[in-house]
Copies of this chain bind each other. A is one copy, B any other.
């Protein structure tokens, strides 16, 4: 008596993707494999090969699921008045969005620790989303002339990403705790101050 499951392909595919997201979010990319995902999904690993063509295809499916995450998290109410305010919102929004999404954190860590073409595509999509949001909400705001805005902005974004990942993994960075909400308020204040001083008017 081999107890087959619901025999609904779409449903099974969805459950596999869900299981993959769970395994990745909980255990990270280590221990992320066909066996673990299939166990979690309660089905045979063969289905991962049959429906997704292997782990890579499954990761792509996760990526498709993840598209638009940043956009929805970064939704801004009113248009910013200055370029400094625009960057300020970008940084703070990205910080909160990343802090609230463990899955994306794990993917970011994955990209750093074990680069692979598949994961690189996920990360690239995230970068594109950031750029798109910038372009959309920027309006006609322009950075002060003479400033290398892209370089400055990825510098700030990189800081946020590193601090969030370190917080998740170790609870601190370079000896400074990153756990309580007060800790994060310090970080956010620092980010805001930097954005304002860097893009100060006049």
Contacts and interface: CB of A to CB of B under 8 A. Distances in A.
Interface stretch (A4-12, A47-55, A186-194): A186-194
A1 interface: no
A156 B157 contact: no
Given A170-B123, A175-B124, A176-B151, A112 B109 contact: yes
Interface in A21-48: 28-30
B190 A148 contact: yes
Interface residues of A, number: 50
Task: Give the oligomeric copy count.
Answer: 2
Contacts of A189: 148, 151
Nearest to A191: B155
A30 B191 CA distance: 34
22 contacts: A28-B114, A109-B113, A111-B170, A113-B169, A123-B170, A127-B173, A130-B175, A147-B193, A148-B186, A150-B176, A151-B176, A152-B193, A152-B194, A154-B174, A155-B159, A155-B191, A157-B174, A158-B158, A158-B173, A159-B162, A161-B162, A194-B194
Given A112-B112, A158-B158, 18 more contacts: A110-B113, A112-B166, A113-B113, A113-B169, A115-B170, A120-B170, A124-B175, A127-B175, A130-B175, A152-B193, A154-B163, A154-B174, A155-B190, A158-B159, A158-B163, A159-B162, A194-B194, A194-B198
